[in-house]
Structure 1
Amino acid sequence: MTHSPISQFISHHYRHFNAAVMIDAARAYTQHLENGGKMFLTMGGAMSTAELGLSLAEMIRQDKVHGICCTGANLEEDVFNLVAHDHYVRIPNYRELTPADEESLCKRHLNRVTDTCIPEAEALRRIENAVLEEWIASDNRGERFFPHEFMFKILLSGKLKEHYQIDPKDSWLMEAAIRNLPIFVPGWEDSTLGNMYAAHCISGEVKNIHTVKTGIEYMILLAEWYTQIAPDGLGFFQIGGGIAGDFPICVVPMLHQDLRRPEVPLWSYFCQISDSTTSYGSYSGAVPNEKITWGKLGKESPKFIIESDATIVAPLIFAYVLGW
C-alpha cells in the first residue's frame, strides 16, 4: 500500500504508548483486509454529530467497512447533519455555560451535544416529517422494516435532496444506503426518532407498534449475516462503548452456546477506541482479554485497545487504512 502524508506522519511520529497502539491497530486492520477478511464497525457516542462521515463514508466507498452497528442517535444524526449543517451552532466555551445559558439554548430549540447544538426545526422535525410518511405508508400496507431501512428509503427517494447542506458524499449513511450495507441498530427506541415513533403510536397515527422492527429481530439478522461472513474472517472495530459494541459482539457466544454451532469462527480482529475505565466494572472499558472468557475472542486474535478520544483517533486510523 502507498501511504500519503497523513499516514507517513503517524508512522514516523506515533511510536509509543497509545500512539503506538493506534498505529499497530491500523496496520493490523490493513493486514486483515489484505488477507481477505472483512471489517465490522460499531459506533457509540455522538460520532455522527462529530462528522465522522467525512472519513467513514470513504471507508465504506472503498470497501474497508462491511457492516455497521450503531446507536439510534448515530443513525439519525448523520442525516440531521446532511440537511441542517448550516443551522448548527457551535459553542466553543460550553464548559462555562450556566444553567441560564443552557435554558436559553433550549428556548432557541438548540439541542446541545458537547460543543455542538443541533437545531430542532431544521434537523429533527424535518427528518420526522419525512420518515413519518414512510411509517404511516408501511403501517397502512401492513409492512414492517428495520429503523435503518426506513432511513435508507428516505435517502434513496431523493425527497430530502433540496435540503442538503453538505456534500452527500460526506454522509456515511447515504453511502451505506447506496451500497445497501448491513446495518444493525439495537435499542433504537433510545433515540430522538425512536421517541417520536412512540409518540405517533400513542397518538394513533401509527396503528401497529410493530411496523418498526425490534432489536431481537436485529440479533436474528446479525446471526444469519455473521454466519455467512465469518468463515472468511470478520474483524470488530469498536468506536466507544455501550450497546453499539456490547450487542453485536455477543452474537458469537450466542451462536456457540445457545444454538450449539461451535464451528462458527470467533471474531478474527478486535480494536476498541475507548476512554472508559476498567477498574470501575465497566464492560465498555474491559481489556480485550476479558472477552476470551465470554467466548467472543480467541487467545490468538489480534487485540488492541486505544485509550483515547475517538474523534481524534478514528479519522487517523481511517486515513492510514485508506492510504491518505
Structure 2
Amino acid sequence: MKTKAKAQPKPELVNAKLARKKGPVSRFIAHNYRHFNSAALLDTAKGYETHLQAGGKMLVTLAGAMSTAELGITLAEMIRQDKVHAIVCTGANLEEDIFNLVAHDYYERVPHYRHLTADDEQALLDRHMNRVTDTCIPEGEAMRRIEAAVAEEWVAADRAGQSFFPHEFMFKILRSGKLKKSYQIDPKNSWMLAACEKNLPIIVPGWEDSTLGNMYAGRVITGEITRVHTVRTGIEYMAWFAGWYTKTAKRLRTGEGSIGFFQIGGGIAGDFPICVVPMLHQDLGRRSVPLWGYFAQISDSTTSYGSYSGAVPNEKITWGKLGAKTPQFIVESDATIVAPLIFSWVLGH
C-alpha cells in the first residue's frame, strides 16, 4: 500500500511568516512575488539573508549605470548596516555616485529618450549634457567639478612619488571636505560616502574606461602627471583582492560563514572578481581557499553560453568559480527595479 506524500507548506505561507516582522515593502513582496522572475527575486533575497545569518560576508558588483540610477538610496544603507562587505564596480559607477552627490539639481531627465533624433542628441551635446538612457549628466557641474578636486590629489601624489588606487583618491576628496558645500542630495543616499565612512574595500577593474580615467590619461599625455602608475591599476587590484579574499576566507573558516557574490549586471565588474578563486587555486596552488559560498546575478542579457553576462551560473562550475552545491540564483530582469527590492527585503523594509 502506497503512503501519501506529506503535503509541503505553501511557499506563500512560508514567505508571509518570514516577512511578518519586516516592513510593508517586504510584506508586499512576500504576498505578490510567487512565480517566475518575481519568485526568483524573493528566493535570491532570502538566500542573501540566510548567507549573512550564517556569518558570511557579501561582495556586491556594480555594472551598468547603477549609480546614475541612484542605487545609493538602498545600497548606502546596506553598507551602513554591514550587509555589504566589499564592492567591485566600474570606474563609471565609482565616479557617477559622486557626480550625483554634487550636481543632482542640474541633472535632466529625458523620458522620451527613445524618440530622440540625431539632431536632438547633438543639441544635448552642445549644452554639455551627457545622456545615460533617460538621464543627462551635466559636464560642468558634475564631471569638471570632480575633475578639479581629484586632479589636485593626482598631481600632489605624483610629485610626492606616491601611488593610490582610484577609489582611494575618491575617498581623499570626500574626507577632505572640499565637496561638502556642493552636496545636492541627502548624504545618506550616497553609497560612496557610506563606503568611505566604513573604509569599505572597493575594487575598480578597468578604471581607465571612465570619464575620470580619460581625464587622467590626458594629464599623463601632456606631462602634467609624470608617472602613469600614480593611479594604481588592475593587476595591482587583483593582487590586493587575492590577499583580501584569502585572509577573509581564513577568518570565516573558524565558523560556518563564507564569502558570497552578488552580481548586478555583468561585464568586467562581475568577471574580474569571480576569477580570483580559480587564480588562487590553479595559479597559486592555494587549494585550501574555499569557493564562493553564494552566487546571485541580476541580468537582462539574453541567456547565452558565448557571453559572460548571459552565461547561467552553472557554467561557472566548469571554471572552478562555483561549486556544485553553491546556492545559485539568477533574476532575469531590470536591475534598477530588482536590486532595490532585494536590498529592501534584506534591510527589513
Shorter-chain-normalised TM-score: which range?
over 0.9
**Counterpart pick for 2:134 among 85, 99, 115:** 115
**Using the alignment, how far apart are the partners of 1:69 and 1:37 within structure 2?**
17
1:9 pairs with 2:28: yes
- Where do 5+ consecutive residues of structure 1 fail to align? none
Aligned residue type for 2:344 = A
Question: Quick check: 1:41–1:67 contact (8 Å CA) kept in 2?
Answer: yes
**Which residue of structure 2 aligns with residue 35 of structure 1?**
54
Aligned residue type for 2:43 = D
**Which residue of structure 1 aligns with residue 79 of structure 2?**
60
State TM-score, norm by structure 2. Answer: 0.92
Note the alpha carbon deviations across 1:87-125, whole angstroms, 9 max, x for none: 000001000000000000000000000000000000000
**Which residue of structure 2 aligns with residue 153 of structure 1?**
172
**Which residue of structure 2 aligns with residue 251 of structure 1?**
276
Question: Quick check: 2:305–2:312 contact (8 Å CA) kept in 1?
Answer: no
**Which residue of structure 1 aligns with residue 5 of structure 2?**
none
Residue 237 of structure 1 deviates from its aligned partner by 0.1
**Which residue of structure 1 aligns with residue 229 of structure 2?**
210
Aligned residue type for 1:240 = G
Give the 3-state SS of the residue equivalent to 1:58 in structure 2: helix
Question: Quick check: 2:149–2:173 contact (8 Å CA) kept in 1?
Answer: yes
Give the 3-state SS of the residue equivalent to 2:87 in structure 1: strand
**Using the alignment, how far apart are the partners of 2:229 and 2:47 within structure 1?**
41
**Which residue of structure 2 aligns with residue 288 of structure 1?**
313
Aligned residue type for 2:340 = P
Residue 280 of structure 1 deviates from its aligned partner by 6.4
- Larger Rg: 1 or 2? 2
**Which residue of structure 1 aligns with residue 45 of structure 2?**
26
Question: Quick check: 1:276–1:282 contact (8 Å CA) kept in 2?
Answer: no
**Which residue of structure 2 aligns with residue 144 of structure 1?**
163
**Counterpart pick for 1:95 among 111, 114, 130:** 114
**Which residue of structure 1 aligns with residue 297 of structure 2?**
272
Question: Quick check: 2:58–2:85 contact (8 Å CA) kept in 1?
Answer: yes
- Where do 5+ consecutive residues of structure 2 fail to align? 1-17, 253-257
**Which residue of structure 2 aligns with residue 320 of structure 1?**
345
**Pairing 1:95-244 to 2, within 5 Å after superposition:** 95-231=114-250, 232=252, 233-244=258-269
Moved more, 271-280 or 153-162: 271-280
Question: Quick check: 1:250–1:296 contact (8 Å CA) kept in 2?
Answer: yes
Percent identity (aligned): 71
Give the 3-state SS of the residue equivalent to 2:290 in structure 1: coil
Q: Which runs of at least 4 in structure 1 moved beyond 2 Å after TM superposition?
A: none
**Using the alignment, how far apart are the partners of 1:239 and 1:303 within structure 2?**
14
**Using the alignment, how far apart are the partners of 2:290 and 2:22 within structure 1?**
32
**Using the alignment, how far apart are the partners of 1:24 and 1:97 within structure 2?**
39
Question: Quick check: 2:79–2:194 contact (8 Å CA) kept in 1?
Answer: yes
Give the count of matched residue pairs. Answer: 324
Question: Quick check: 2:58–2:262 contact (8 Å CA) kept in 1?
Answer: yes
Question: Quick check: 1:60–1:175 contact (8 Å CA) kept in 2?
Answer: yes
Question: Quick check: 1:230–1:267 contact (8 Å CA) kept in 2?
Answer: no
Give the 3-state SS of the residue equivalent to 1:237 in structure 2: strand
**Using the alignment, how far apart are the partners of 1:230 and 1:47 within structure 2?**
28
Give the 3-state SS of the residue equivalent to 1:235 in structure 2: strand
Q: CA RMSD in A?
A: 0.8
Aligned residue type for 2:322 = L
Aligned residue type for 1:314 = A
**Using the alignment, how far apart are the partners of 2:184 and 2:304 within structure 1?**
43
